[in-house]
């Protein structure tokens, strides 16, 4: 799969040379062109790789035929030859071979299916990595245009991000990887081996809190704000006519200012089987020293959460200048690794005093999504929904989501974040506490 790695590398180089343009149209066109060409290259390389693997399967059959012929095994030789003729006609291997399939044929088929599955996983990983990088670049441009006050361009870029997130090729690749992960967990997680006279000990799954379901309660369309993403809840937007500074009613929300997906509630409820416990709600209890009790869950069972109030983007020019200057200052401090240790609870209670400072605190994750992360300074606050932080980019949000999946509810993490104003905390980095 060398071609796939080259394709992804070419995309990264293309992003490095695609500088932001003065208008969203030209910026998107430049980045999208590189993305689509790289995506096409991945598909072409995968098709070529699959053709090569088909030839490899035929060669394996031919090698088996020679070995059986040398051993004088006529029945085995005829069985292999029949499979070779069938494959050359159908060009595929059955997922579930018939029960009467000879052992030699079944073994070669199983090896081939593994090669094909590995190739498909590699292709899907390349597609997801490529698309995540593309989305990250669009998010960065969206933020830049927002800071420059070009709200129409920023909204256009947000639309491109939403298209990429919901594209068929991206969602199919993510679903296939998740399905493969679920199968791998099912295959590699051994059944607990109870000692003589004792029953196997199981515990509630830490990921789904024993429900067997992963509940998505925050509305994806508005990121839980309940506000229309086009007019930011105002019910009006700029007319967009040259030379006009007037406002017109927002067509998307019919001037209500509410998100049409969740009708302003900020939440939608959906549930999927938990991939960690395969929907059972139970996992084997880990070994632990005698006398030590298993960790208790501090996160309540998933319930619909109140709408998230996303920090507003300043609309007054003076506020916008101050907002942009503070964000630029924090980004520079993060690039130069200039952060201060601070108690998170103290920061929350005196946010104004910490404005413009890049801080580092030990906290507990309450929830983590690509576009919003909730943390708390102590376990009691974690039960009360915590404090909202906005990731500086999608990659940071994805990292927070990954870290949350790797730790237990009581495990602390270390965050690097900046105080933009009294309503906005921006997350720059997150990692496990040492």
Answer whether residue 294 is part of any domain.
no
Residue 407 lies in a domain: yes
Q: What percent of the chain has pLDDT over 90?
A: 8
Please check whether residues 273 and 231 belong to one and the same domain: yes
Residue 292 lies in a domain: no
**Looking at the structure, do residues 183 and 205 belong to the same domain, yes or no?**
no
* Residue 381 confidence (pLDDT): 80
> Phi and psi at residue 54, in whole multiples of 5°?
-65, -40
pLDDT score for 318 = 54
Alpha-carbon span 39 to 8, nearest angstrom: 9
- 168 within domain boundaries: yes
Shared domain for 111 and 232, answered yes or no, is no
C-alpha to C-alpha distance for 266 and 311, rounded to whole angstroms = 14
Do residues 141 and 9 both lie within one domain?
yes
| Residue 157 and residue 229 in one domain | no
Residue carrying the six token digits 């007319």: 239
pLDDT band at 19 (very low <50, low <70, confident <90, very high): very low
Q: Which of 250, 276, 310 is the last residue of a domain?
A: 310
Whole-angstrom CA distances from 354 to 166, 234, 351 are 38, 29, 5
Measured CA to CA, the distance from residue 396 to residue 377 in angstroms comes to 20
As a whole number, mean pLDDT of residues 285-294 equals 52
Q: What pLDDT, on the 0 to 100 scale, is given for residue 286? A: 57
Q: Are residues 177 and 211 in the same domain?
A: no
Give the range among 219-223, 299-303, 341-345 with minimum mean pLDDT.
Answer: 299-303
What range does the domain containing 10 cover?
A: 1-188
Boundary-marking domain end, from 167, 188, 209: 188
Residue 293 belongs to a domain: no
Domain match, 180 and 234 both = no
Q: Is the pLDDT assigned to residue 138 strictly greater than 60?
A: yes
Is 304 in the same domain as 378?
no
CATH of the domain at 387: 2.40.50
Question: Per the structure, how many domains does the chain have?
Answer: 3
Q: What is the pLDDT of residue 416?
A: 95
List, for residues 56-75, the tens digit of each pLDDT value. 788 888 888 888 888 888 88
Q: 127 with 209, same domain?
A: no
Q: Is 214 inside any structural domain?
A: yes
Q: What is the pLDDT of residue 302?
A: 46
Is the same domain home to 118 and 266? no
Residue range 124-137, pLDDT digits in tens: 889 989 888 888 88
Q: Token digits for 179?
A: 């399905």
What pLDDT is attached to residue 364? 92
DSSP string, 17-34: H----SSHHHHHHHHHHH
Task: Indicate if the pLDDT at residue 428 is higher than 90.
Answer: yes
The answer to whether residue 291 sits within a structural domain is: no
Say whether both 341 and 213 belong to one domain: no
Mean pLDDT of the region 338-364 = 91
194 occurs within a structural domain? no
SS3 389: strand
Residues 293-336 have pLDDT tens digits of 444 444 444 444 444 444 444 444 455 677 778 888 898 899 88
Lowest mean pLDDT among 39-43, 168-172, 285-289, 369-373: 285-289
Model pTM?
0.39
Query: What is the residue-averaged pLDDT of the chain?
Result: 75
Between 281 and 345, residue with greater pLDDT: 345
Q: What share of the chain is helix, strand, coil (3-state, %, to 5)?
A: 50, 15, 35
Q: Which residue among 124, 155, 188 closes a domain?
A: 188
What is the average pLDDT across 215-236? 73
- Distant-in-sequence, close-in-space partners of 46: CB < 8 Å, separation ≥ 6: 1, 4, 119, 123
Q: What angle do CA 18, 177, 399 make, to 5 degrees?
A: 55
Cβ count near 55 (within 10 Å):
9
The reply to whether 178 and 228 lie within a common domain is no
Q: Cα–Cα distance between 393 and 373 in angstroms, integer?
A: 12
């Amino acid at each position: 799969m060398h071609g796939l790695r080259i394709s992804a590398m070419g995309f990264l180089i293309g992003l490095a040379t695609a500088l932001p343009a003065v208008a969203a149209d030209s910026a998107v066109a430049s980045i999208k062109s590189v993305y689509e060409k790289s995506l096409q290259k991945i598909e072409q390389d995968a098709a070529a790789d699959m053709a090569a693997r088909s030839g490899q399967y035929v060669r394996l059959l031919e090698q088996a035929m020679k070995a059986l012929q040398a051993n004088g095994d006529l029945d085995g030789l005829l069985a292999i030859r029949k499979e070779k003729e069938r494959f050359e006609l159908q060009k595929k291997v059955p997922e579930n071979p018939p029960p009467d399939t000879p052992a030699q044929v079944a073994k070669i088929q199983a090896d081939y299916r593994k090669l094909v599955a590995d190739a498909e996983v590699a292709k899907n990983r390349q597609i997801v990595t490529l698309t995540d990088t593309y989305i990250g670049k669009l998010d960065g441009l969206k933020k830049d245009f927002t800071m420059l006050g070009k709200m129409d361009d920023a909204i256009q870029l947000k639309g491109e991000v939403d298209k990429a997130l919901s594209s068929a090729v991206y969602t199919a690749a993510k679903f296939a990887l998740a399905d493969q992960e679920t199968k791998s967990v099912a295959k590699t997680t051994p059944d607990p081996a109870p000692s003589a006279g004792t029953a196997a000990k199981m515990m509630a799954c830490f990921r789904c809190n024993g429900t067997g379901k992963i509940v998505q309660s925050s509305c994806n369309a508005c990121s839980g704000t309940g506000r229309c993403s086009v007019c930011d809840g105002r019910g009006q937007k700029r007319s967009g006519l040259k030379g006009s500074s007037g406002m017109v009613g927002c067509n998307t929300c019919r001037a209500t200012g509410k998100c049409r997906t969740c009708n302003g509630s900020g939440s939608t409820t959906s549930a999927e089987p938990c991939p960690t416990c395969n929907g059972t709600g139970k996992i084997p209890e880990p070994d632990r020293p005698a006398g030590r009790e298993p960790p208790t869950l501090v996160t309540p069972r998933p319930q619909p959460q109140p709408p998230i109030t996303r920090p507003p983007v300043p609309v007054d020019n003076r506020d916008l200048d101050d907002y942009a200057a503070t964000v630029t200052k924090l980004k520079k401090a993060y690039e130069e690794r200039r952060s201060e240790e601070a108690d998170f609870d103290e920061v929350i209670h005196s946010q104004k005093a910490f404005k413009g400072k890049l801080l580092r605190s030990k906290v507990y994750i309450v929830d983590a999504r690509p576009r919003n992360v909730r943390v708390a300074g102590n376990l009691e606050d974690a039960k009360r929904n915590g404090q909202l932080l906005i990731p500086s980019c999608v990659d940071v949000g994805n990292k927070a989501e990954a870290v949350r999946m790797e730790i237990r509810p009581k495990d602390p993490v270390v965050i690097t974040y900046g105080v933009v104003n009294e309503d906005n905390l921006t997350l720059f980095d997150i990692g496990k506490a040492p």
